[in-house]
Amino acid sequence: MADQTQKLHIAMLPWPAFGHMIPFLDLAKNIAQKGHRVSYLATPRNIQRLPKLPPYLADSITLVQLLLHNDNSLPENSEATMDIPPHNMLDLKRAYHDWIIYDIFAYWLPPIAAKLGISRGFFNTNNAWNMSFIGSSIPEIKAKYDPPTKPEDMTVPPKWVTFPTNATFRLFEAKDYFFYKSSNDSNFTEHNLAVSGCEVNIVRSCVKLEPEWLKLLKELHQKPVVPVCILPLTMQVRRHDHKDDTWDTIIEWLDKQEKGSVV
């Protein structure tokens, strides 16, 4: 356990059997009593069946509802092992999680999910050209190219970009990149682990905007690429903000274009 001066936020995801959920909840109480926060994930019905939390821990333990994906292979209202006959156990495992979509700092998660048979999607919030500038996560591909060694190297397209493009870093952006890399080099290792551990690379982009870059990204990492459009603020949020209609103009154009698909 970390030093008591360091307050942690811990997520718990027990298997939906009360022989697992109750011990996990007891551990959550113990952790919360030491001053840390806990997010305890379980299905809605299982949360209702858990023992009530002591009032003095109510602010330290958050019960987060997590829905199961039931494809009708499970009996109605089956959310724990006590609700099903033994022959439905595999169906419960399948319903537990189909996919995990994770961020770069959860680079440790893919090997765990793979052992559990859960598909993994890495969602990088950058666009395709920005991600492509970082290069490949595959050693054999990385060995073919010399990485940039100074900021000026990033003000021109890298050698692995074989098509004409004006997309580059500006010098001050490249200097920030190198400063960040020199002080946080582990983050770039984490990026490679996050990409190499996924089954699908999810990108905030679309085919109409970055067709060549999306194809390059697939070649660099040897992973399917799923562009999910640029994901602006929701329509409800934007309609309450009339200071800038730029997003509305973009969305009107994108609505007429092909939507994101696997590249």
pLDDT digits (tens, 9 = 90+) for 197-242: 999 999 988 899 999 999 999 999 999 999 988 765 544 444 444 4
Mean pLDDT, residues 10-29: 92
pLDDT in tens, 32-84: 999 999 999 999 999 999 999 999 999 999 999 988 877 778 888 899 999 99
80-102 burial string, b = 16+ CB within 10 Å, else e? bbebbeeebeebbebbbbeebeb
Backbone angles phi, psi at 40, to 5 degrees: -105, 115
The pLDDT, as a whole number, for residue 90 is 85
Catalytic residue among 20, 71, 146, 185: 20
Predicted pLDDT at 117:
80
* pLDDT over threshold 50, residue 1: no
- 9 noted as active-site residue: no
117-176 pLDDT per residue, tens: 888 999 988 889 988 988 898 989 988 888 788 889 889 999 999 999 999 999 998 888
The sign of the CA dihedral 201, 206, 207, 212 is: negative
Most confident of 88-92, 227-231, 243-247: 88-92
Provide the pLDDT for residue 45: 94
Token pair of 22 as six digits: 């109750």
pLDDT at 189: 76
Predicted pLDDT at 21: 93
* Proportion of the chain above pLDDT 90, given as a percent: 42
- Take residue 256 and report the two structure tokens written for it: 């007429």
Mapping DSSP to helix (H, G, I), strand (E, B) and coil, where does residue 138 land?
A: coil
Task: Spell out the domain ranges in the chain.
Answer: 1-70, 122-254
| Span between the terminal Cα atoms of the chain, in Å | 44
Distance CA 249, CA 245 (A): 6
Q: Distance of alpha carbon 32 from its chain centroid, rounded? A: 26
Per-residue pLDDT at 15 exceeds 70: yes
146 is catalytic: no
Average pLDDT of the chain, as a whole number: 83
At 236 the pLDDT is 45
pTM: 0.68
CB atoms near residue 60 (< 10 Å): 18
Catalytic residue among 98, 103, 176, 245: 103
CA distances from 13 to 28, 55, 85, 93, 94 (A): 11, 22, 23, 13, 15
Residue 249: the pLDDT is 58
Helix, strand, coil percentages in the chain from 3-state DSSP, rounded to 5: 45, 10, 45
